[in-house]
Amino acid sequence: MKVLIVEDDRVTRMLQQRYLTDWGFDIQILTDGQEAYDYLTQSQLPKPLIVLLDWVMPKRDGLEILQALQESGNFAGIYVIMVTSKREGEEIAKALDNGADDYLRKPFHPKELQARINVGVRTLQNENQLIEQNHLLDRFGNEMHELAEERAKQLVHADRMASLGVMSAGIAHEINNSSSFISGNVQTFSRVWERMLKSIDELLKTQPDTMPDKQLFEFVLDEVPDMLDGMRQGVSRIHAIVKGLTEYSRDDCGKMDAVDLKKCVDDSLVICQNRIKHIGKIDINIQPVNGKVYGIANQIEQVIINLLGNAADELEQTPESRIEIAVVQDGDHALIRIMDNGKGVSPELADRIFDPFFTTKGVGKGTGLGLAICSKILANHNGKLSLDQSYENGACFVIDLPIHDTEVHP
């Protein structure tokens, strides 16, 4: 620890220097009050610091320096021992009232000097520990505040999802009613169009000159079938999206049933198709599984959707972007592998990406909770989520779920 000796008397200064050097302290020496004032009031003062401060000195005395330190607010990390030949109790009290931590009367015994220096060392060490503990408490408080805010956001989101689950049946009913009208009209028009097609085709062959706009009729003949197919596909897509949203928002907590992994993948792709529409190529390879996987389908879909969303975010600026989804069996486990050709995950981050609130996305683009929640979901299924670090073409996340030969009753 550093000790500053401020002493104008050469003999006293030499004794202090010799003793403190023998005791292993880092020594700095100043010989008048102005030097001490300039040193102790600097902004970058090295701390912790013990000061042996003489009271009576040229230019500025020790009491003035104490008062200057108090005014600067620079006392933290400094322990001041006033060294004086004064004997009156009122004078000693005045020094202590102005900020001195201790005093040492001249002439002093080496043992007394050592004891008072040791008190200063212990005091500064305890003060430093308290500062570190306060910093830890502040950091803990900030983290708890952030956790509370994030938890509140999760609860709001959960409440919205619960509301969506309640509303989804009614919404699905209304949308399906509307799409049913569209579907019914498309079917009716298709039947009528078959009859009209024959009449128009016959007119074009037998009475071409009576047609008011032959090119228009030819265009209609070519385009109407494609328009009808497009409307049929649109209606089917509406039904698929409504069904997927209804199942995804449904509360199935605790209801473990046999899960169709292919359907989970297909429904997940439907739900997040807008999120992944910029992906150049999506390959799907689903192999049959011998046995049954038990779980909560919409929760497994939630994991797949999260991983697909992460991959889509990663590939936003990637030319020839590609996502591959594979379902394979590995012994008594079913593996859903979701791979992309992005930059991948560095080894330095691989162990941290599943930690809550850790994110590699920019500010406002991620909470750092997605993978942590996915890991928890799969743990509740006696499975796990992992990063395949041997995959060299980007990132590969693996959903691992146990396969059962017999029915499971969780």
The share of the chain scoring above pLDDT 70, in percent, equals 83
Rounded to an integer, the average pLDDT of 237-241 is 71
> Would you say residue 117 has pLDDT above 70?
yes
**For the segment 325-336, what is each residue's pLDDT rounded down to a tens digit?**
999 999 999 999
Q: How far apart are CA 147 and CA 150, in angstroms?
A: 5
User: Looking at residues 122-126, what average pLDDT do you find?
Assistant: 89
**Distance between CA atoms of residues 180 and 23, nearest Å:** 93
Amino acid at 319: P
d(CA 402, CA 376) in angstroms, rounded, equals: 15
Instruction: Spell out the domain ranges in the chain.
Output: 2-108, 146-249, 257-402
Higher pLDDT, 290 or 70: 290
Give the model's pLDDT for residue 249.
Answer: 54
Q: Which two tokens stand for residue 63?
A: 């009491």
Evaluate if residue 239 carries a pLDDT over 80. no
Residue 168 is predicted with a pLDDT of: 62
- Encoded amino acid at 241, one letter: I
Q: Which of 250, 249, 246, 270 is nearest to 170 (CA)?
A: 246
pLDDT reported for residue 164: 56
Can you say whether the dihedral through the CA atoms of 373, 278, 339, 296 is positive or negative?
positive
What pLDDT digit, counting tens, does each position of 19-75 carry?
Answer: 999 999 999 999 888 888 888 888 778 888 899 998 888 888 888 888 888 887 777
Share of the chain residues as helix, strand and coil, in percent rounded to the nearest 5:
55, 15, 30
Q: How many helices (H) and strands (E) does the chain have?
A: 10, 12
Q: What percent of the chain has pLDDT over 90?
A: 26
Give pLDDT, residue 248.
53
The pLDDT tens digits for 257-271 are: 899 999 999 988 988
Q: Which residues contact 186 (CB under 8 A, 6 or more apart)?
A: 228, 231, 232, 235
Fold of 2-108: Rossmann fold (3.40.50)
Cα first-last separation, the chain: 63
What band does 360 get if pLDDT is binned at 50, 70 and 90?
A: low
What's the confidence (pLDDT) of residue 327?
95
**Least confident piece of the model among 96-105, 145-154, 190-199, 300-309:** 145-154
Has domain 257-402 been given CATH number 3.30.565.10? yes
Side by side, the strands of the sheet bearing 49-54 are 26-30, 2-6, 49-54, 78-84, 102-105
CB-based burial, 334-345: b 16+ in 10 Å, e otherwise: bbbbbbbbbebb
Phi then psi for residue 27, to 5 deg, are -105, 140
What gap in Å lies between CA 231 and CA 234, rounded to an integer?
Answer: 5
pTM: 0.46
Q: How far apart are CA 356 and CA 370, in angstroms?
A: 8
Q: Taking a C-beta distance cutoff of 8 angstroms, is the pair 282, 320 a contact?
A: no
Q: What is the pLDDT of residue 407?
A: 61
Query: Which pLDDT score, from 0 to 100, does residue 154 have?
Result: 63
Of the segments 83-87, 135-139, 394-398, which one has the largest average pLDDT value? 394-398
Q: What is the mean pLDDT of the chain?
A: 82
- CA–chain centroid gap for 17, Å, is 54
Answer whether residue 91 shows pLDDT above 60. Answer: yes
19 contacts 110 by C-beta, under 8 angstroms = yes
The pLDDT confidence band at residue 382, using thresholds 50, 70 and 90, is very high
Instruction: Measure the CA–CA gap between 305 and 101, rounded to whole angstroms.
Output: 64
Q: How far is the C-alpha of 361 from the C-alpha of 342, rounded, in Å? A: 14
Q: Which two tokens stand for residue 136?
A: 């830890």
Query: pLDDT at position 180, please?
Result: 80
pLDDT band at 174 (very low <50, low <70, confident <90, very high): confident
Is residue 259 a contact partner of residue 402, using CB atoms and an 8 Å limit?
A: no
